[in-house]
Amino acid sequence: MEIKYIHRELSAVIKEAYRYFSVITVTGPRQSGKTTLLRNLFPDLPYYSLENLDVRSFAENDPIAFLNQHAGGMILDEVHNAPNLLSYIQGMVDEDAERRFILSGSSQFAMLKKVAQSLAGRTAVFELLPLSYSEIHALATDVSLDNLLFDGFYPAIYSGRNVPKFFYPAYMKTYLDKDVRDLLQIKDMMQFHTFIRLCAGRIGSLFKVSELANEIGVSSNTVTSWLSVLQASYIVALLPPYFENTRKRLTKTPKLYFIDTGLACYLLGIETAEQLLRDKMRGALFENFVVMEALKRRYNQGKEGNLYFYR
């Protein structure tokens, strides 16, 4: 089967930033295309994944020797698995601005916090979400809206490497086995899975913590903690209400959306595009699509999200 390379709109912005920064950092969901994008943009830089235990062991035990393997720099994937490397990278680019390090990771909060601490002013940071409508349209102009919403926007589905009925169950298993266990010590994973499914049923609605906590039978603090994990691992995004007073934006109830409608359909038990056509959540999923398109457009221009809803 032929595997297609999908051009990403973020490419031009990353290339421009590469002229000015010694370090480029790209975060985003698992399988949003970060590795493919970076290896395509920087084919001359050697690539290392820090999910590989041997690579990680070398990086952690002798970071200077690891980073000095290649004088010109390297691509380091899933760098949040070896956060101590960042301080060594800082020292190296301070000594030699010609060295280049390309970093990627799929743990939003943890990685951005560590990058901000160690590489402030030395790195340009970008977020790569799944494919935008225009990126898909460049490949296939005849995809219906309902098929788009059902299939979702992950590159594997459009490059010929996978199909939704296999992709999303595997994605959720990887997510639960890796990201959740890394970020939280959850005693009842079934309860957490129920929480994710209930979130999918609240797409486009105000996210009321106490209401969801009562429905699941856990504390509000637990729901808040679980929600932060969904955000950190790029499963959901929150859209705050717009107020001229910035403090109100931070305290008022946000709306909840999923990063990908295909994953949301899977969690909602929607098994075909035809079923989606008749489903009561179709309108909410379309709203989700519109919000995510706006967010992707900003991210693909190298801008922060800064989106709000107006009541």
pLDDT tens track for 98-112:
899 999 988 665 666
> Could you tell me which of 123, 52, 58 has the C-alpha nearest to residue 89?
123
Name the token pair of 127: 């977020």
185 against 241, higher pLDDT: 241
In the CATH hierarchy, which fold is given to the domain comprising 11-127?
Answer: Rossmann fold (3.40.50)
Query: Phi and psi (nearest 5°) for 255?
Result: -95, 155
The strand pair at 236-239 and 255-258 is best described as antiparallel
* CATH architecture for the domain at 133-300: Orthogonal Bundle (1.10)
How many C-beta neighbours within 10 Å does residue 241 have? 16
First-residue to last-residue Cα distance in the chain: 49
The answer to whether 119 touches 149, Cβ cutoff 8 Å, is no
Cα 173 from Cα 230, distance rounded (Å)? 14
Cα 141 from Cα 138, distance rounded (Å)? 7
Where in the chain do CATH 3.40.50.300 domains reside?
Answer: 11-127
pLDDT tens, residue by residue, 163-185: 999 999 999 988 777 777 767 77
For residue 52, is pLDDT > 90?
A: yes
pLDDT band at 190 (very low <50, low <70, confident <90, very high): confident
Cα 188 from Cα 177, distance rounded (Å)? 13
Query: Phi and psi (nearest 5°) for 39?
Result: -70, -30
Cα 171 from Cα 74, distance rounded (Å)? 28
Q: Residue 118: what pLDDT? A: 78
Least confident stretch, 50-54, 115-119, 284-288: 115-119
Name the token pair of 221: 């603090």
For residue 2, is pLDDT > 60?
A: no
Q: What is the mean pLDDT of the chain?
A: 90
Residues 6+ apart with CB under 8 A from 299: 10, 126, 127, 128, 129, 305
Percent residues over pLDDT 70 in the chain:
94
Query: pTM of the entire structure?
Result: 0.91
211 against 107, higher pLDDT: 211
19 against 190, higher pLDDT: 19
For residue 278, is pLDDT > 80?
A: yes
Over range 67-81, report the average pLDDT: 93
pLDDT tens, residue by residue, 139-155: 876 789 999 999 999 99
pLDDT band at 1 (very low <50, low <70, confident <90, very high): very low
H or E segment and range at residue 47: strand 47-49
Q: Residue 205: what pLDDT? A: 96
Cα 51 from Cα 5, distance rounded (Å)? 23
How many C-beta neighbours within 10 Å does residue 216 have? 16
